[in-house]
Amino acid sequence: MDYTNLRRQIISMKKSLFDQGYLDEQFNQLEELQDDSSPNFVDEVVALFFKDSSRLLTNIEQALEKYPQDFYRLDSLVYQFKGSGSSIGALRMKNECSMFKAHCNDRDLEGYRTLDDSSSIPASHSLLEQLHLIPWLTQMPPVTPEDKEGACHSEAEAGDIFSCKHKHQIKGPVST
């Protein structure tokens, strides 16, 4: 398996989540709390978030379908969702929850529903599914000098490896 490219892609994905405002500093806190005594801490917290969020999204959707709407229950569900998301640094989702709660307080969800689909809680949540990949960074074999040498080529460029100015030692089939 081409761990170098996989590692690079996961790092790039993580950076993108930060750059686009989906994650904030809180996620770094989780990584700082991961150590030899808690080697799977990030994975554990992320898993708890998705366990919570799966249940809460279902409950929120069911609550939205009821009429008249139980704004107290919706507010309570979104409160839990916001808190859970904030624990992993899900910044954009936290802000979406705040906006949703404001609409609940105003007893006006029509205003929230007219927002662009990309600005919804489920949309932000689905993008965060990529977080499942991050624990792989600590589980992959360590980077070797050979990995670093081959790192200048993406899988798509593997066929051009012989034209590269760098000297490469090819071990086994070149992945495509």
Partner 1 sequence: MASAAAERKVIRVLLVEDEEIHKVLARALLRSAVGGVELDEAGTGAEAVRRVRDGGASAGAYDLIITDGKMPVMDGHEATRRIRAMGVTTPIVGLSSDTFPSDVDAFIKAGADDFTPKPLSKEKLVRILAKFNLV
Site of interaction with partner 1 (CB under 8 A):
26, 29-30, 32-33, 38, 41, 44-45, 48-49, 52, 76, 79-80, 82-84, 86-89
Please enumerate in sequence order all residues whose Cβ is within 8 A of that of 5, keeping only pairs 6 or more positions apart, or say none: 151, 154, 155
In the bound state with partner 1, the residue whose beta carbon lies nearer, of 5 and 96, is: 96
In the bound state with partner 1, the residue whose beta carbon lies nearer, of 43 and 153, is: 43
What's the closest the beta carbon of residue 125 comes to partner 1, in angstroms?
15
- What is the distance between the alpha carbons of residues 6 and 10, in angstroms, rounded to a whole number? 6
What's the closest the beta carbon of residue 162 comes to partner 1, in angstroms?
49
- What is the distance between the alpha carbons of residues 164 and 176, in angstroms, rounded to a whole number? 16
In the chain the first and final C-alpha atoms are separated, in Å, by: 11
What's the closest the beta carbon of residue 33 comes to partner 1, in angstroms?
5
Beta carbons of 106 and 136 less than 8 angstroms apart: no
Q: Which of 11, 15, 1 is nearest to 147 (CA)?
A: 1
What's the closest the beta carbon of residue 62 comes to partner 1, in angstroms?
19
In the bound state with partner 1, the residue whose beta carbon lies nearer, of 33 and 143, is: 33
